Structure 1
Amino acid sequence: MSSIVFQHHPNGTDYAYMSSSYWDAERKTTRTRMICIGKKDPRTGEIIYNKRWKELQAEQQDKAPGTDMPPAVSSTLSIGPSLLLQAVTDKLGLKRSLLKGFDADTTSQLLALAWFFASCPAQRAYLAEGWMESHRCPHQESPLASPRITELLQSISRDQILSFFKSWLRRSKDTEYLCFDISSVSTYGTYNPYDEYGYNRDGESLPQINIALLMGMESEIPFYYEILPGSLHDVSALPAFTAMLGKLGMTKVSLMMDKGFYSQKNISMLLENGIHFTMPVPKNISRVKGYMDGDRDDLELPQNILVSDERSTVYGITHRTKLDGKRLYYHVFTDTAMRIEHVAKFNAYMVELSRELETGELVESHAEDYSLFFTVKETPVRGRKVIWNHDAIKAYRDRYVGYWSLVTSCEPDARTALLQYRKRDKVEKQFDNLKNMIDGNRLRTKGTVSNESVVFLRFLSLIITEYIRKVLRDTPIDPRLGNTKTWITRYSVPEVFNRLESYTEIVFKNTYKPIHPEKTKAQREIFQIFGLES
């Protein structure tokens, strides 16, 4: 039995659907099929039928001889998101790399789940079955129910994942910087040796795992991740990580890192292994303090201007030196606008240190600054008294706040090193995307294997969504007019999938050709951006 129902869209339009109930013999239940047939005229209230429904009605007039039965509909599938996902998967060669570690059937299942997570990042895995039933996708002939997804996650081995990475890492360019960073993900999981308490970047009192992520600075493609114990510090993770890259065939690597990875031991290790790098240097390093002290009077001379605009001017001076016989470059910078902001942050940090000393809630990493900027006296009568060392605070603020330094083995030019380092904020945004994908930042799995598998699936979907985001960000809306605006100003990645959702395909059980709807304006634009064909 069929009936017409209306659904109100946030854009203010009331869309009309033909709702039909039918008996699913395999599942032994009644199911509903809905086909969009048009929209309600806001003035007359009548239905304005769309092109797809008119074509379907015309097809139904062509009945089989001797029968009044119209053509039977076999399926109605959403194919808009699938066309985009298939194009991106093919463009990136994702399936080819997966087949290096998994058989064809498992690869099909992994891609189906990666597609689901890419188009529905906020959804849980158990909802994938319904999505696969209503969308054209890999492994559609046998949608994955929740128990089968669990079996799949438990069957994935670390060796299979590493085989994928060995192939996938070959896509990175030898000349491309690979941005490396670590972030924590809180977990409610149990029986996982990686779940430990440590420095939680989200400030939560939960055990966590650390995820190290490697991303191309130019391609913006995530290339590799590593799950690490939650208590492990950044500086301790680097040697094992670089050793793993060597085992995966990455002999020519240029890493962009933050100052958490800096240590004399790590610098020597990177130089010894021929790994190029660029990273900030902590200000408590005596060598850098000496450079800043010597450069202060000359740094803001006109010949040292690196970048200048109406908001700020960045100055820089380069110092060349050697370590273990290998060339190193220390670039010292200051920014006229950022210096004011840095002073404000420094003052706020001093207030925070004072509060920690007064309350006794000490932070281990602040120990050196406690002794440098404050004196604590304990008396039987007055108790604890925190004394500010104003001379030390003023001397440090005037000499070092607003100045910073980069050390690099491969960028002799200070301006080039600065501009390259500024791009690393993209990997921080990808961390946010990956963490938001992992069950709202909470891993609820049991055991190392399933934890690894969940992150792996989310990583695959991150590859797809970051490529889509880069295309939107790099494609101008109208290159003929010299317009610098790109499509990312009009469509976010979630909105792209939302716009494509209503592009469907009706398939008949007999010889009739499938019917596709007329594309909306947004769908035509998205098809053009990504070169899609219906």
Structure 2
Amino acid sequence: MSSQVKVKAKNGRIYVYEVDSFWNKEKKKPDSRRKCIGHINELTGEIVPNRPRAKSGSGFRQSKSGSRITVTGCGSFSIVDKAAHETGVIDCLRRVFPNHWPYIMTCCQFLASAGDPLYLIDRWSAHNETYLPDGLISQRASELLPCLTLSKQQEFFRTWIAHNGSKEYFALDITSISSYSEFISMVKYGYNRDHEPLPQINLLMITGQKSRLPIYFMPLDGKIKDVKALKSVLENQTMIAPKTLSLIMDKGFFSLYNLEALYKNHFHFALGVPFTSRIAREAVEKYRDKIESHYNVVSVSGNEVYGATDLQKWEGHRLYLHIYFDSDKAAGEKKAFNHKLHTTYEALCSGEKIKDEEFAEKYFIIKETKVRGRKVLYNDEAIESHLKNRVGWFVMVSNFIKDKKEALAIYREKDSVEKSFDDLKNQMDMKRLRVHSEEAMNGRIFLQFIALILTVWIRQKLSEAKWAKKYSYQEIMNEIGELKKISEQGKRKNLTLQTTSLQNQIIELFGLK
């Protein structure tokens, strides 16, 4: 007969023992055996099982002297630890999370090297060197998430932004992450970047233009539009950074309200302007017939466009209006536009389903009569207006960048955020949230954010060495992850198993010990 008994230890932890009662024939009296099966989690009250001991053949053996020999993967720890120290993120974590930073770094090491869901950390942790001597199991990782509170995260962001300096330009963008949890209030039906209606949250991120390192993120309601998302940053600006941020944003964030708010909050900004705005339409009208002049040629990264700058006043503020025309881009856009016109026209005539109904409504006139049936006509005025005023043109505004060449170069560099989003969703398992509470969601995204910083730094090193064309990021992490360390109980010196040629190159490139 078996039962469970709880015993409180001196350290305050409550252990659970499984007790088997039986009749002892030798002693001729009742007896029992007990085995510790785990301890009680203080937060949930649930039993946390003990970690299983390593079985034979799992990487442990006895030497002839009887001492214990351990074979552990050390490559992923070496490269992630190098990234953590070079970026300074580990110092910021130690300062803000003095008790939790080893757990945070172990989770982020797993996410950056394996890219698998966090619930698979158990086996990986048992066979790799980490920031925790005894490794980490998925249940401990789940318990960590609620500890990464929003107030602590904001404290980290302030420390991290201060570490990255105030002279950096920062790109801002937004992406969506799907989730089917009914217990997270931010999860709402909205259209993702591929225009698919899904339950999701939106994730706003700010990234350094030069370093390309992420410096701040904010989860937002799944229905929120880009233009409204900027309001959240403006409201939190003094909380995350006491000094002025210089934000580079695409035209999805433009509105007259946002322009006024950026000035009011003393932000430096460079912002793309959509052609739905009067500012862009009037700028193109002014320069349509005179921008294609050799005096206006601007060359950025070997690409030549025509550009002009107007200094204007907006609500009493100084505003630099930069107008660009790219003749090569215009030819490509015109060809694509005409192709879409043709395919839409054929679909309308045949009665097929239209993919872009807004496009069809804008550029076609459809007449239905009982006698002649359906008649489809091109809206020549709308088509001519698009080709004259939009194709090949780009307009941006800034309150601090005077030079048209500098403005264009800085704006084109803002793809760092998009690359970070790509890493976040494809490299590190964040296409879908696998948590079911708001606290866990905030903690989970924070872990992913730290792992993204490490990933971006490693990827940058590979790119600088021109390795990106030869090897993928995951190929490099898998290769260095195979590096093994042999340690013997009672001896300080460790041995490393024979390294491959590629492992030696990785060690040399990153300067690993």
**Where on the TM-score scale, by shorter chain, does this alignment land: which range?**
0.7 to 0.9
Judged with a 3 Å threshold, the aligned counterparts in structure 2 of structure 1 residues 499 and 139 are, in CA distance, closer, same or farther, namely: same
1:282-314 CA deviation, whole Å, 9 max, x = no partner?
A: 11222322221221222111111101898x631
Give the C-alpha shift of residue 359 in structure 1: 6.7
Contact 2:300-2:405 at 8 Å conserved across structures: no
CA distance in 1, matches of 2:439, 2:348: 40
Which of 390, 393, 397 is the equivalent residue of 1:400?
390
Equivalence for 2:503: 523
1:224-267 CA deviation, whole Å, 9 max, x = no partner?
A: 11100111011111122122122222431110111000011111
RMSD: 2.8
> Which 5+ residue runs of structure 2 have no aligned equivalent?
1-49
Give the C-alpha shift of residue 278 in structure 1: 0.9
Equivalence for 1:184: 176
Judged with a 3 Å threshold, the aligned counterparts in structure 2 of structure 1 residues 324 and 399 are, in CA distance, closer, same or farther, namely: closer
Equivalent position amino acid for 2:130 in 1: C
Equivalence for 2:481: 501
Give the C-alpha shift of residue 223 in structure 1: 0.4
CA distance in 1, matches of 2:378, 2:482: 64
Equivalence for 2:202: 210
Do residues 288 (structure 1) and 280 (structure 2) align?
Answer: yes
Contact 1:313-1:337 at 8 Å conserved across structures: no
In the superposition, the TM-score normalised over structure 1's length comes to: 0.80
Equivalence for 1:65: none
Which of 102, 109, 129 is the equivalent residue of 1:108?
102
Contact 2:154-2:239 at 8 Å conserved across structures: no
CA distance in 2, matches of 1:390, 1:513: 80
Contact 2:275-2:390 at 8 Å conserved across structures: yes
CA distance in 1, matches of 2:162, 2:352: 53
* Structure-to-structure mapping, 1:83-232, within 5 angstroms: 83-104=78-99, 106-121=100-115, 123-141=116-134, 143-232=135-224
Do residues 271 (structure 1) and 263 (structure 2) align?
Answer: yes
Equivalence for 1:334: 325
Contact 1:177-1:253 at 8 Å conserved across structures: yes
Contact 1:356-1:362 at 8 Å conserved across structures: no
CA distance in 2, matches of 1:232, 1:309: 35
Helix, strand or coil at the partner of 2:499? coil
Equivalent position amino acid for 2:464 in 1: D
Equivalence for 1:50: none
CA distance in 2, matches of 1:408, 1:138: 45
1:99-125 CA deviation, whole Å, 9 max, x = no partner?
A: 344342x2111110000000011x111
Contact 1:188-1:445 at 8 Å conserved across structures: no
Contact 2:344-2:354 at 8 Å conserved across structures: no
Give the C-alpha shift of residue 157 in structure 1: 1.7
Do residues 420 (structure 1) and 410 (structure 2) align?
Answer: yes
Equivalent position amino acid for 1:260 in 2: G
Contact 1:132-1:140 at 8 Å conserved across structures: no
Judged with a 3 Å threshold, the aligned counterparts in structure 2 of structure 1 residues 514 and 90 are, in CA distance, closer, same or farther, namely: same
Equivalence for 2:34: none
Give the C-alpha shift of residue 444 in structure 1: 2.6
Equivalent position amino acid for 2:333 in 1: H
CA distance in 2, matches of 1:223, 1:26: 36
Contact 2:234-2:261 at 8 Å conserved across structures: no
In the superposition, the TM-score normalised over structure 2's length comes to: 0.83
Give the C-alpha shift of residue 196 in structure 1: 0.9
Contact 2:309-2:404 at 8 Å conserved across structures: yes
Which of 70, 74, 79 is the equivalent residue of 1:75?
70
**What is the aligned length?**
462
Give the C-alpha shift of residue 322 in structure 1: 1.2
Equivalent position amino acid for 2:509 in 1: I
Contact 1:154-1:450 at 8 Å conserved across structures: yes
CA distance in 1, matches of 2:372, 2:121: 64
Equivalent position amino acid for 1:163 in 2: E
1:405-459 CA deviation, whole Å, 9 max, x = no partner?
A: 1111111111111111111122211111112256351113212111212211111
CA distance in 1, matches of 2:494, 2:300: 58
CA distance in 1, matches of 2:348, 2:97: 52
Do residues 373 (structure 1) and 363 (structure 2) align?
Answer: yes
Judged with a 3 Å threshold, the aligned counterparts in structure 2 of structure 1 residues 440 and 286 are, in CA distance, closer, same or farther, namely: closer
Helix, strand or coil at the partner of 1:443? coil
Give the C-alpha shift of residue 317 in structure 1: 1.0
Helix, strand or coil at the partner of 2:197? coil
Helix, strand or coil at the partner of 2:190? coil
CA distance in 1, matches of 2:119, 2:217: 24
CA distance in 2, matches of 1:342, 1:273: 37
Do residues 30 (structure 1) and 41 (structure 2) align?
Answer: no
CA distance in 2, matches of 1:427, 1:469: 14
Contact 1:437-1:458 at 8 Å conserved across structures: no
Judged with a 3 Å threshold, the aligned counterparts in structure 2 of structure 1 residues 501 and 416 are, in CA distance, closer, same or farther, namely: same
Judged with a 3 Å threshold, the aligned counterparts in structure 2 of structure 1 residues 317 and 495 are, in CA distance, closer, same or farther, namely: same
Equivalence for 1:474: 464
CA distance in 1, matches of 2:211, 2:361: 45
Contact 1:469-1:492 at 8 Å conserved across structures: no
* Structure-to-structure mapping, 1:37-52, within 5 angstroms: none
Judged with a 3 Å threshold, the aligned counterparts in structure 2 of structure 1 residues 427 and 349 are, in CA distance, closer, same or farther, namely: farther
Equivalence for 1:46: none
Do residues 234 (structure 1) and 206 (structure 2) align?
Answer: no
Equivalent position amino acid for 2:79 in 1: L
Do residues 390 (structure 1) and 380 (structure 2) align?
Answer: yes
Do residues 320 (structure 1) and 311 (structure 2) align?
Answer: yes
Helix, strand or coil at the partner of 1:32? coil
> Which 5+ residue runs of structure 1 have no aligned equivalent?
1-24, 36-55, 61-68, 476-485
Helix, strand or coil at the partner of 1:180? strand
Identity score, percent? 30
Equivalent position amino acid for 1:460 in 2: I
Equivalence for 2:435: 445
